[in-house]
Amino acid sequence: MFYWKKYVSFNHIVLWIGVFLKVNTCYGQIAAKFPGDNNIASDPAVLFTEMCEQSDLNSFFSNWSSNSGVKSIALDPSTYPPGSPGHQSVRLFTTAGVLGQPGTVQTAILYKFFPGGVNDSIFARWYVKYNSSGTLHHSGPRLGGNNPPNAVNPNSPAGVRPSGSDFFYLGAETTQGKTRPVNQSTFDYYNYWMHMRGTTFFPGLYYGNSFVNDPAVSIDLNTWNCIEVRLKLNNPVSSFNGEITMWINGAKVSEIKTGTEGIWTEDNFIPQSGGTTFEGFQWRNDPNLKFNYFNLTHFVDHDQPGQVNSVNYDHIVVARKYIGPMQAANLPIISFTAAVRCDDQKTVLRWQASSSSGDNEFSVERSNDAKVWQTVHVSREIYAVAKVAEYLFVDPTSPLGRSYYRIKQTGPNAAVNYSKIISCLPCRTLSYYPNPAKDFIIFPVQTEPIIISDLMGREVCSSPSDTKRIDIRNLKNGIYLIQHGSEVYKLLVSH
C-alpha cells in the first residue's frame, strides 16, 4: 500500500574531489571475478543469469519458466547498461486502457522457478532503466516462495497477509510516479510476510510494507541503475532472524534486521535512531516454505488510454552470495591530469592507459556543471611496446569559468570506463588586493596598463604598466571593472 508523503527538499551538493562511495564487500563480490559479467554463470554460487543477448524472443523465453508473451515483452537493441559487452536489453511494456478491452495490457511478467528452493540467503542483482514518460505502479523484481511450489506463476494474492506456510516475497521498486510521470523516484521494498502491517486506509487488507522511506535514496529513472537485494530467511522457522539488505549502484542503502531502530507509520517502517526496535523477519513458520522463485513485474493501472509504459532490464543474476555491480571489461585508465596553460588560457589534458588490442577509443568530455557532458575530442588507442600509452589533448576553447573534464574509454563490444573528474579554472595573470577596497589597490606584479571603469564602461581612472598602487579614495561605493590587457576583473569599492 502506498500513499503520498511530504518531504522537505534540500539542494544537492556535489563534491568532485576523488570521493567514492564505498562498496560493501563483506559478502565477497562475484562480479569482480567476471569483467563484463562474462561467464559469471560458471561461479558455483550463481543460480540464474539473464544477459538478454538471445537472437529472438523464443530463445529468450526458454531461459524463463513462464512469461506474459510478445504483447508485453521485447528484446531492445536501443539501450543497454554502460560497460556491458552486450548489445541489447529486455523491455517489459504495458498499454493503458480499459481492462478487458483489446489492446489493453496492465501487466508484463517474467517468472523463474527454482525447483528444490533455497533455505537460507539469496541475492539478486539487476540493471534497470525506466521510461519516465508514463506512470509506474509496481515495476521491479520479486524474490519469493510458494508452498506448495508453483512452477509457472507466483501464487501471492494482493491484499492478503500470508499465513507463514503459504507464501512470502520481497519486492524492490520505485515508489513515485504512480499517477503522473516523474524523472526521479525514491526506491524501496514492497514486502509480504506473515507479520506485515495493515493500514487504516484499507481495513482488513494488507499491502506491501516499505522499509527504506528515505527521500535521499532515489534514482534517476532515465539512466541505467544497478540494484541488488539480499533476502535472508529465518532459521529455525520459529525465529525472527530474517533480514533484508539493498544496494544501489554498489552502495548499501538499507539493512533491516532484528534490532533495527525505527518507527511504524501505518504499513511503513521508517528507520531512525531512538525509535522502537524492529523484531526481525519471520518470513515463514513452515520449513516447507522456501525461496523458490524470482520474477520481473511491470504493472501499470493509471494512465491515458493508449499510453505505452515500459521498463528495461539487463545483466540479471540470482546467487547465494553477494554479486556486486558489473565490472568493466576493458583495461583501466592509469592516470589523468588537466591544467590551464596561462600563456594562452588553453586547457592541456594528459592521460595514460594500458595498451591492449587497439580496439579502445578515448573521448574527452567537458562540462560546466559536472552533470551534462559534451564530447570535445576523440583519440584512438595507441599501441605501445611498454604496454602503457600516453595521450595529449589541448582544448582550443578557453574556459570562461570553472570547467570539468573526464576521459571516457570505450572498449570492445561498447564496454565503457570513465576516469576521475578534474576541474579547471582559467589562469589569473593579474594579482591585486584588497578586494573589496576602500583607499588603494595594490598590484604586486603588473605587465600592462590598468584601466578602471564603471559598469557602463566609462573610464574612471588608469595607470601605466609599472604602477604598484592606485588611489581609489575618490571613487564612489560600488562595483567597477579592472581591465588588464584583454582580461577583465571585478572590483568592489566600499569606503
Residues 216 and 315 in one domain: yes
Give the predicted TM-score (pTM) of the model: 0.64
- Whichever domain contains 44, its CATH number is 2.60.120.200
Kindly report, residue by residue over 81-112, the tens digit of the pLDDT. 987 878 899 999 988 765 666 666 678 999 99
List of residues 6+ apart from 19 with CB closer than 8 A: none
Q: How far apart are CA 401 and CA 365, in angstroms?
A: 16
Residues 36 and 129 in one domain: yes
Residues 268 and 380 in one domain: no
Task: Report yes or no on 252 lying in a domain.
Answer: yes
Task: Report yes or no on 1 lying in a domain.
Answer: no
Segment 69-80 mean pLDDT: 93
Where does the pLDDT of residue 13 fall: very low under 50, low under 70, confident under 90, or very high at 90 and above? very low
Count of structural domains, the chain: 3
Q: How far apart are CA 241 and CA 279, in angstroms?
A: 8
Segment 336-348 mean pLDDT: 76
Q: What is the pLDDT of residue 4?
A: 33
Task: Report yes or no on 271 lying in a domain.
Answer: yes
Segment 302-320 mean pLDDT: 90
CB atoms under 10 Å from CB of 469, counted, come to 12
Q: What is the pLDDT of residue 373?
A: 86
Q: What is the pLDDT of residue 2?
A: 33
For residue 387, give its domain range.
333-424
Kindly report, residue by residue over 117-157, the tens digit of the pLDDT. 999 999 999 999 998 777 788 889 999 999 999 999 888 89
Task: Report yes or no on 86 lying in a domain.
Answer: yes
Residues 140 and 214 in one domain: yes
- Whichever domain contains 395, its CATH number is 2.60.40.10
Segment 283-303 mean pLDDT: 93
Pick from 125-134, 366-375, 465-474 the range whose average pLDDT is largest: 125-134
Q: With CA atoms as reference, report the closest residue to 143 among 285, 36, 44, 48.
A: 48
Where does the pLDDT of residue 18 fall: very low under 50, low under 70, confident under 90, or very high at 90 and above? very low
Query: Of 370, 390, 424, which residue constitutes the final position of a domain?
Result: 424
Residues 406 and 452 in one domain: no
Residues 277 and 385 in one domain: no
Q: How far apart are CA 451 and CA 454, in angstroms?
A: 10
Task: Report yes or no on 392 lying in a domain.
Answer: yes
Q: What is the pLDDT of residue 177?
A: 75
Task: Report yes or no on 172 lying in a domain.
Answer: yes
Residue that wins the pLDDT comparison between 389 and 439: 439
Residues 36 and 149 in one domain: yes
Task: Report yes or no on 207 lying in a domain.
Answer: yes
Segment 257-279 mean pLDDT: 94
Segment 237-249 mean pLDDT: 97
Residues 36 and 93 in one domain: yes
Query: Of 284, 319, 354, which residue constitutes the final position of a domain?
Result: 319
Q: How far apart are CA 108 and CA 100, in angstroms?
A: 15
Q: Is the pLDDT of residue 50 over 50?
A: yes
Residues 305 and 362 in one domain: no
Residue 226 CA: distances (Å) to CA of 31, 83, 125, 245: 12, 12, 7, 14
Q: Is the pLDDT of residue 445 over 70?
A: no
Q: Is the pLDDT of residue 417 over 80?
A: no
Residues 412 and 464 in one domain: no
Lowest mean pLDDT among 215-224, 320-329, 381-390, 392-401: 381-390
Residue that wins the pLDDT comparison between 77 and 371: 77
Q: Is the pLDDT of residue 476 over 60?
A: yes
Task: Report yes or no on 431 lying in a domain.
Answer: no
H/E stretch holding 122: strand 121-130
459 forms beta bridges with 453
Residues 64 and 135 in one domain: yes
Amino acid residing at 489: Y
